[in-house]
Amino acid sequence: MELTTQLLIAAIAAGTPLLFATLGGIMNERAGIIQLGAEGLMLMGAVTACLTYLQTGSLSLALLAVFGVSAALGLIHAFLCVTLRANQIVSGLAVTLFGTGFSAYLGKSVSGQPLGTTVPRLQLPWLEPIPVIGPIFANLNLFTWVSFVLVIAMHVFIHRTSWGLHLRALGDNPATADVMGIRVQLFRYGYVIVGAALIGLAGANMLLVYSPTWIEGMTAGRGWIAVALVIFARWNPIRALFCAYFFGVLDTLGFRIQLTGSDIPPYFLKMIPYVVTILVLMFLGWRNRNKPSGTPEALGQPYIREQRF
Amino acid sequence: MRQLPATEAAASQRGTSGMKRRFSFRLELDPSRSSAPWWTPILSVALALLLCAVFIAINGMNPITVYMRMVTGAFGSSFGITETLVKAIPLLLCGLGVAIAYRISIWNIGAEGQFAAGAMGATAVIIYFPDLPAVLTIPLMLVFGMLAGGFWGLLTAIPRTYFGVNELITSLMLNYVALLALDYFVFGPWKDPQGFNFPGTPMFTEAQSLPVLGTTRLHLGLVFALIAILLYFLTIRYTKWGYELRLIGANSNAAKNAGININKHILIVMLISGGLAGIAGMAEVSGVTHRLMYGISPGYGYTAIIVAWLAKLNPLGLIVSSVLFGGLIVGGYSVQTMGLPSSISSMLQGAILFFLIAGDMLSKFRLRSGG
């Protein structure tokens, strides 16, 4: 296989968990709620998938448990942010810190145990003969196909349906949404929970496909990179796909440079995704200094019906 | 006078709707309460202990025995108490660092990286000037640790002030960068050649170590931390600069209109915030581990965030909460012998933060019956 194809395959493999987490983040933030709990949610998703799979041996049960656990954490976040109007940043940090600690506690007994999962792959033999596209798409696992469908579905949902219009209103101007008859609190709850479940799915995807062994803190900051990806993608699902794959490439780049036998210490190569995240954010900040960044306008503000802005 | 019937009608309408919904309750903000009462931190710790007791019970242990073991491990002996204080030193310094940043709503979550940077800065002094006397080495280590931590803090502040980049993401990304840099040094150029491949520098000499109290491990870092707390208290309370910080924290738009250069304050505050975490890193290598080594911090920088919130950014509260969390870490180690993972303490920490924010907000609400 030529290098570009290899790189694209690696980008998709490493980028899909990031993509799920970014899509979850977009859903939360479009509804006006900041989600900084991504790292904790991903870790909880991963450890839940690991424990359930080892107990039951069933992939679908594992995914169901992941949805349950991460939706429950999303519910707590929603309760704190929507009902109690707590500081969304601190609430998100609490989700991350609790998720990190709790996942380490739960996963202690299975730490380092290989899972040996087989996520079903969609075989499309008729695609094989086509150059570039063939080798990439003919043998993808189910998670990746689900993520493709999700990107398109979310794009259509947000930009082409009236529900999506309501979602954008929640994030940009909840007072208007309220006047339009949308139940702001209820829908914010809904979107926060669904978004959290998607981020949990990202963790499960990472554990079941990308590195099938539970290790404490295995996401290594990918949840936070997803938080940054939401900004890169300017809250747009289609852009999120490209941004996630770009970071997927960066994720595997260090390893690839090492394979070529270069003598750059591996520690510096591992820094690449983190440093590039900061540099890209700085570049975007510089380029968009006089332009709107696409941030939902009421992001981070609790909505109180009686209060005027 | 003509308005009176209308008002009466409105009042009676409210009355009837109240009658209809007599048995319904609702939560609403209580306008008479602006700040949370003093007891919410205590309540939140108690509720977090209760929640984690459930998980311990699921694990097949008696939660009361586990908690008793944690308390006696952390506070039950003079060894336990000094160990708790040894852990409280970095928590206090890092917690103070993030608390200063939170005062002006700068979300520095990079204390972990700033701590590592400080440890590296202090060790660099030893690596490049190995034979200086103690009177020179210790102050130099302190200065370089502080500068390295402060520099790491500035790396977060500069993208924020000049490029409008969210400091949460930057500071967290820099944690990973700093820890990887530390790994590079201890696995690479600074590794002890006689260390049997142990990822760490050679042991520091007597002259390069902070003085300790008697035979315990309690070191001079405690004095650094207490001086820092005192300075923080005096600065915030009594200086013009402290007043400006309080103003920015209370209302940044008002501060801007009053002619305060907020960007300048962000840079200075992050320099100090990182510098304090850097001192913590210096004190840890020079006072506790006596070498720079792999995995030097068991997450002090993250725990510091909760320390600062539990203390409500109050200087005295910082001392209390850092001792409490120091005890939690030591207690976490002491239950390992019972077959429980020590990560129980980080689980407790997260749960405490959850209940703290919920409690703070709930205490501002009141329960009203009827509409």
The rounded distance, in Å, linking the Cα atoms of B338 and A242 is 49
Q: Is B109 on the interface with A (CB under 8 A)?
A: yes
Q: What residues of chain B, 134 to 193, have a C-beta less than 8 Å from chain A?
A: 159, 163-166, 168-170, 172-177, 180-181, 183-184, 187-188
The rounded distance, in Å, linking the Cα atoms of B323 and A217 is 26
The rounded distance, in Å, linking the Cα atoms of A255 and A252 is 5
Closest residue by Cα to residue A42 from A99, A81, A125, A97 = A99
Q: Does A84 contact B188 at a Cβ distance shorter than 8 Å? A: no
Q: Does A285 contact B345 at a Cβ distance shorter than 8 Å? A: no
Which band of pLDDT confidence, cut at 50, 70 and 90, is reported for residue B62? confident
Return the pLDDT at A12.
86
Tell me the sheet residues that pair with B293. B200
Say if residues B117 and B258 touch (Cβ distance below 8 Å): no
Query: How far B29 CA sits from the closest chain A CA (Å)?
Result: 9
Q: Does B164 contact A285 at a Cβ distance shorter than 8 Å? A: yes
Q: What is the pLDDT of residues B315-371, one digit of tens each?
A: 999 999 999 999 988 888 888 877 777 778 888 888 888 888 888 887 777 666 654
Q: What is the pLDDT of residues B135-194, one digit of tens each?
A: 888 999 999 999 999 999 999 999 999 988 888 889 989 999 999 999 999 988 888 888
The token pair that represents A190 in the structure block: 């809904």
- Nearest residue on chain A to B59, judged by CA atoms? A106
- Nearest residue on chain B to A81, judged by CA atoms? B358
Structural domain tally of chain A? 1
The token pair that represents A266 in the structure block: 């591996």
Q: Does B353 contact A216 at a Cβ distance shorter than 8 Å? A: no
Return the pLDDT at B26.
62
The token pair that represents A177 in the structure block: 């949404």
Per-residue pLDDT of chain A (309 residues; tens, 9 = 90+): 577 777 888 888 889 999 999 999 999 999 989 888 899 999 999 999 988 888 888 888 889 999 999 999 999 999 988 888 888 888 898 898 889 888 988 888 888 788 777 777 777 777 777 776 777 777 778 888 889 899 999 999 989 998 988 888 888 888 888 888 888 888 999 999 999 999 999 999 988 888 888 888 888 889 999 998 998 888 889 999 999 999 888 888 877 787 887 788 888 888 988 999 899 989 988 887 777 777 888 887 888 776 654
DSSP collapsed to 3 states, chain B = CCHHHHHHHHHHHHHHHHHHCCCCEEEEECCCCCCCCCCHHHHHHHHHHHHHHHHHHHCCCCHHHHHHHHHHHHHCCHHHHHHHHHHHHHHHHHHHHHHHHHHCCCCCCCHHHHHHHHHHHHHHHHHHCCCCCHHHHHHHHHHHHHHHHHHHHHHHHHHHHHHCCCHHHHHHHHHHHHHHHHHHHHHCCCCCCCCCCCCECCCCCHHHCCCECCCCCCECHHHHHHHHHHHHHHHHHHCHHHHHHHHHHHCHHHHHHCCCCHHHHHHHHHHHHHHHHHHHHHHHHHHHHCCCECCCCCCHHHHHHHHHHHCCCCHHHHHHHHHHHHHHHHHHHHCHHHCCCCCHHHHHHHHHHHHHHHHHHHCCEEEEECC
Closest residue by Cα to residue B126 from B301, B299, B295, B289 = B289
Say if residues A9 and A136 touch (Cβ distance below 8 Å): yes
Query: How far A135 CA sits from the closest chain B CA (Å)?
Result: 34
Which residues have C-beta within 8 Å of that of residue B5, sequence separation ≥ 6?
none
Return the pLDDT at B356.
86
The token pair that represents B85 in the structure block: 């204080």
pTM above 0.90, yes or no: no
Closest residue by Cα to residue A99 from A246, A230, A203 = A203
The rounded distance, in Å, linking the Cα atoms of A197 and A179 is 29
Q: Does A274 contact B341 at a Cβ distance shorter than 8 Å? A: no
- Nearest residue on chain B to A219, judged by CA atoms? B176
Q: Which range marks the domain in which residue A262 is found?
A: 2-287
Q: Does A76 contact B177 at a Cβ distance shorter than 8 Å? A: no
The rounded distance, in Å, linking the Cα atoms of A163 and B261 is 43
Return the pLDDT at B27.
62
Say if residues A27 and A191 touch (Cβ distance below 8 Å): yes
**How do the domains of chain B map onto residue ranges?**
79-311
| A306, part of any domain | no
Phi, psi angle pair for B29, to nearest 5°: -65, 135
B350 exposed, middle or buried (CB, 10 Å; 0-12, 13-18, 19+)? buried
Q: Does B343 contact A101 at a Cβ distance shorter than 8 Å? A: yes
Select from A84, A93, A231 the Cβ nearest to the Cβ of B358: A84
Placement of tokens 């006078």 in the chain: B1
Say if residues B19 and B318 touch (Cβ distance below 8 Å): no
Return the pLDDT at A4.
75
Query: How far A75 CA sits from the closest chain B CA (Å)?
Result: 13
Higher pLDDT, A109 or B275: B275
Which residues have C-beta within 8 Å of that of residue B189, sequence separation ≥ 6?
none
> How many residues can be counted in chain B?
371
| A297, part of any domain | no
The token pair that represents B245 in the structure block: 């910080």
Q: What is the mean pLDDT of residues B43-55?
A: 87
The token pair that represents B315 in the structure block: 């200087």
Residue B90, CA distances (Å) to A275, B296, B326 in order: 26, 12, 9
Residue B14, pLDDT above cutoff 50 = no
Q: Does A271 contact B180 at a Cβ distance shorter than 8 Å? A: yes
Radius of gyration of chain B (CA): 25
Q: Is B132 on the interface with A (CB under 8 A)?
A: no
Q: What is the CATH number of the domain that holds A161?
A: 1.10.3470
Chain A neighbors of B111, CB-CB under 8 A = none
The token pair that represents A295 in the structure block: 């941030």
Q: What is the mean pLDDT of residues B64-69?
A: 87
| A293, part of any domain | no
Query: How far B332 CA sits from the closest chain A CA (Å)?
Result: 11
- Nearest residue on chain B to A273, judged by CA atoms? B173
Q: Is B305 on the interface with A (CB under 8 A)?
A: yes
The rounded distance, in Å, linking the Cα atoms of A271 and B188 is 16
Select from B176, B181, B350 the Cβ nearest to the Cβ of A98: B350
Chain A neighbors of B367, CB-CB under 8 A = none
Q: Does B169 contact A97 at a Cβ distance shorter than 8 Å? A: no
| A92, part of any domain | yes
- Nearest residue on chain B to A73, judged by CA atoms? B354
The token pair that represents A146 in the structure block: 């689900």
DSSP collapsed to 3 states, chain A = CCHHHHHHHHHHHHHHHHHHHHHHHHHHHHCCCCCCCHHHHHHHHHHHHHHHHHHHCCHHHHHHHHHHHHHHHHHHHHHHHHHCCCCHHHHHHHHHHHHHHHHHHHHHHHCCCECCCCCCEEECHHHCCCCCHHHHHCEEEHHHHHHHHHHHHHHHHHHHCHHHHHHHHHHHCHHHHHHCCCCHHHHHHHHHHHHHHHHHHHHHHHHHHHCCECCCCCCCCHHHHHHHHHHHCCCCHHHHHHHHHHHHHHHHHHHHHHHCCCCCCHHHHHCHHHHHHHHHHHHHHHHCCCCCCCCCCCCCCCCCCCCCC
The rounded distance, in Å, linking the Cα atoms of A118 and A123 is 14
The rounded distance, in Å, linking the Cα atoms of A67 and A12 is 23
Q: Is B362 on the interface with A (CB under 8 A)?
A: yes
Select from A224, A268, A282 the Cβ nearest to the Cβ of B184: A268
Q: Is B250 on the interface with A (CB under 8 A)?
A: no
CA A296, A298, A302, A305 dihedral sign is: negative
How many alpha carbons fall within 13 Å on the CB side of residue B160?
25
Q: For an interface test with B, which of A39, A110, A229, A271 has the most B Cβ atoms less than 10 Å from its Cβ?
A: A271
CA B159 to chain centre: 23
Provide the b/e sequence for B56-85 (b: ≥16 CB within 10 Å): beebebebeebbebbeebbbeeeebbbbbb
B202 exposed, middle or buried (CB, 10 Å; 0-12, 13-18, 19+)? middle
